[in-house]
Amino acid sequence: SQTIHQWPATLVQPVGSPLSLECTVEGTSNPNLYWYRQAAGRGLQLLFYSVGIGQISSEVPQNLSASRPQDRQFILSSKKLLLSDSGFYLCAWSSGDTQYFGPGTRLTVL
Amino acid sequence: GQQVMQIPQYQHVQEGEDFTTYCNSSTTLSNIQWYKQRPGGHPVFLIQLVKSGEVKKQKRLTFQFGEAKKNSSLHITATQTTDVGTYFCAPGTASKLTFGTGTRLQVTL
């Protein structure tokens, strides 16, 4: 069966520090991969999605970037975090219309 | 992406009462999915609706897709405390979903 991993589960970072969040999927090949951000008590904002290795589509211009170095690995990065980057970051995968979410990373930028 | 409005944003019910959340679009949707997110958790897929006028049931949950495929609803009969969470509708094409703003459900004894 398919599983999706995200780490770390929680993260506290100072403003201006770099960020790297990793997501890996097991049990499937060539999935579509997604990064979402959810502010406290709010909906899901799609940040990036990828349909294949090295293929990244950005939905919202910001100081974040994404990379897909391997088929089942998706990385979210920032060179310098802002206070507004705080939130719940969710990775998801799909091979059809349904999306399956990872456990998420709760990021607090101080 | 396709924009949808979900109402209400929040509802508080007593256990045993019914609950309904609505998802409305100004454009025709090819399909719509529903997800549930428990407090502190991640969204979990509930169901997908594709056909005009489609009705699907999962135990106490009833999902409907409007005849014009511009709206959808989720109805929970006799809510339980386990129903607490935020319910999102998500129309989508080509595996790219646009999540609605969500309806947060609180159930108390």
Please check whether residue B2 is in contact with residue B27, taking contact to mean a CB–CB distance below 8 angstroms: yes
Distance CA A23, CA B31 (A): 28
pLDDT (tens digit, 9 = 90+) per residue, A13-22?
A: 999 999 999 9
- If you search the block for the tokens 């990064």, which residue do you land on? A35
CA A53-A85-B95 angle, to 5 degrees, is 40
Are the C-beta atoms of A48 and A57 separated by less than 8 Å?
A: yes
- Whether A3 has a pLDDT exceeding 60, the answer reads yes
Contact: B98, A46; criterion CB under 8 Å: yes
Q: What is the pLDDT of residues A40-81, one digit of tens each?
A: 888 899 999 999 999 999 988 689 999 999 999 999 999 999
Q: In this model, does residue B1 exceed pLDDT 70?
A: no
Assigned token pair, A6: 């995200």
Inter-chain touch B42–A96, beta carbons under 8 Å: no
Sorted by sequence, the CB contacts under 8 Å of residue A31 that are 6+ apart come out as A25, A71, A72, A93, A94, A95
Q: pLDDT digits over B57-102, tens only?
A: 999 999 999 999 999 999 999 999 999 999 999 998 657 888 989 9
State whether residue B104 sits within 8 Å of chain A by CB.
Answer: yes
List the one residue out of B98, B64, B87, B92 whose CA is nearest residue B13: B87
Regarding predicted confidence, which is higher, A109 or A59? A109
Q: Are B46 and B36 in contact (CB under 8 A)?
A: yes
**Residue B106 contacts residue B84 (beta carbons within 8 Å):** yes
- For A33-80, give the DSSP string: EEEEEE-TT--EEEEEEEEETTEEEESS-SSEEEEEEETTEEEEEESS
Q: Does B73 touch chain A (CB under 8 A)?
A: no
Per-residue model confidence (pLDDT) at position A62? 80
Q: Which pLDDT score, from 0 to 100, does residue B2 have?
A: 65
Interface test with A, best of B10, B32, B42, B65 (most A CBs within 10 A): B42
Residue A16 Cα, gap to closest chain B Cα (Å): 27
pLDDT in tens, B47-58: 999 999 999 999
| Residue bearing tokens 């947060």 | B104
Alpha-carbon Rg of chain A, whole angstroms? 13
By C-alpha distance, the chain B residue nearest A38 is B42
- Test A99 with B104 for CB contact under 8 angstroms: no
Using a CB–CB cut-off of 8 Å, the residues of A that contact B are: 32, 36, 41-44, 46, 49, 90, 94, 96-104
CB A4 within 8 A of CB A100: yes
CA dist., res. A93 & res. A100, Å (int): 5
Contact predicate A17/A102, CB 8 Å: no
Tell me, what's the pLDDT at B80?
98
CB pairs under 8 A between A and B: 43
